[in-house]
A and B are shown apart, each in its own frame.
Chain A
Amino acid sequence: MKVIAVIPAFNEAERIAKTVRDVCPYVDAVVVVDDGSTDATSSLAHVGDTIVLTHRVNRGQGAALRTGTEAAIRLEADVIVHVDGDGQHDPTYIPALIRPIANHEADIVFGSRFLDEMPIGIPWSRRALLYAARTFNAIVMGIPRSVSDPQNGMRAMSCNAAVVIRFTQDRMAHCSEILRLATRSGLRWIEIPVCVRYSSESLSKGQKNSDALTIAWQLFMGLFSS
C-alpha cells in the first residue's frame, strides 16, 4: 500500500525540513507544495526523495493541498495523508490515521483535537471559536454535529475518496468544505484523536480568531461558484 503525505507550505523555511524529516518514516513518499513562498521553503523542503512542487504565486492552503493531492493521485497513491507544514501536527499519529483505510473500515479519516487528547497550549478563545465553528458547520453547512473538530488539517483518505472529494476552496475554508463533501458523499468517514501542539510561533503565523469571519465569507461565496 503506497502512502503519500501532502504538506502545503508557505514561508516555512524555519520548520519545513524538520516537518518533512519527521513525516518521512511513516509514509512512502512526501509531496511538499510550496505555495509561492518568498523565503527558502522550496529548497529546504528537498529532504531525501521529497517531491517539491512550487506554486508560482500564493494561492492559499486549500489550493496547495488540492495540487498536492492531485499529484499524489497521479503518483498512484493508495492513501493520501494531509499534514500541515508548520510542525503543529504530530506525525506519530499517521499510522493511526492510515489504519482504518488499510483495514477497509473507512474511506476518509479525520484527525480530531477534541476526542481524547486535548490540544497542547490551545488558548481558551480558540477553543470557544472552534466550538462556535462546529455549531456553524452543523447549522449552515449541514455537517453532522458528531464531527468534533471543524478545522483540523490532519486527515487521511483513500485515493478513491480523494477523487470523489474535489474541494475547490483555495484558502482557509477548505477544512469545512472537505468535511461537508465527505459527510455527504456516501464515503465512510471516522474521526480519530490526534494531538496538536500550539506554540507562540504557530499561533502568530497560523489562523487568527478573526479569520472565522473570512472563512464564513469564503464558504458563502463558494455557494455561488460552480
Chain B
Amino acid sequence: MLIQFVLIAVLLGAFGMTWTRARQRVISLREAFAWSVLWITAGIGIARPETTTVVANFFGVGRGSDFVLYGSVILLFILVFKIFLAIDKLNRALTEVVRKEVLKEFPPHE
C-alpha cells in the first residue's frame, strides 16, 4: 500500500541520517544503535503489520494498531512530562539567578 511505501521511505531516510550523524561524530555509536533499533522495529511493524498483532496479543490487546496507539500515547505522555520537568528546572535556575542578583549587596551569613 502507498502509506507503507511512504513510511518506509521516511524510516530509511531517518536510518541513513542517523548513521551519517554517527560518522560525523555528532551522536555516539551507542545512540546510533538505539535509534537504529527504533527505526527497524517501526519498519517491521509497517511492512508486516501482523507482527504488531502478535506483540499486542502478548500484552492482552486485540489489534496491533491499537497496541501501537496505546504505546504512542504512553510515550508521548512520558515525553511531555520530561518537558515539564525541564521547564521546572529552568524556572528554578531562573529564580536562583534573580535571587543572587538581588542578594549581591548582602554578605553571606556565617
Contact = CB atoms under 8 A, between A and B. Distances in A.
A1 interface: no
Given A74-B107, A74-B109, A59 B95 contact: yes
A210 interface: no
Given A225-B88, A225-B89, A75 B94 contact: no
A170 B103 CA distance: 17
Interface in A70-94: 70-71, 73-76
B107 A53 contact: no
Contacts of A224: 85, 88
Interface string B82-104: 00110011011011001101110
Contacts of A71: 102-103, 106
Contacts of B84: 221
Contact of A70 (B92, B94, B99, B101): B99
B109 A57 contact: no
B94 A67 contact: no
A55 B98 contact: yes
B85 A67 contact: no
A70 B84 CA distance: 28
Interface residues of A, number: 23
Contact of B88 (A33, A63, A73, A221): A221
B60 interface: no
Nearest to A59: B95
A30 to B, nearest CB: 15
Contact of B92 (A54, A57, A67, A168): A168
B103 to A, nearest CB: 6
Given A170-B91, A170-B92, A55 B108 contact: no
A56 interface: yes
A71 B109 CA distance: 9
A225 B87 CA distance: 11
Interface in A190-226: 221, 224-225
A75 B108 CA distance: 9
A225 B84 CA distance: 11
A132 B105 CA distance: 42
A155 interface: no
A59 B103 contact: no
Given A70-B99, A70-B103, A221-B85, A59 B109 contact: no
16 contacts: A53-B103, A59-B98, A60-B95, A63-B95, A66-B95, A67-B98, A67-B102, A67-B103, A71-B102, A74-B103, A74-B106, A74-B109, A76-B109, A170-B91, A224-B88, A225-B89
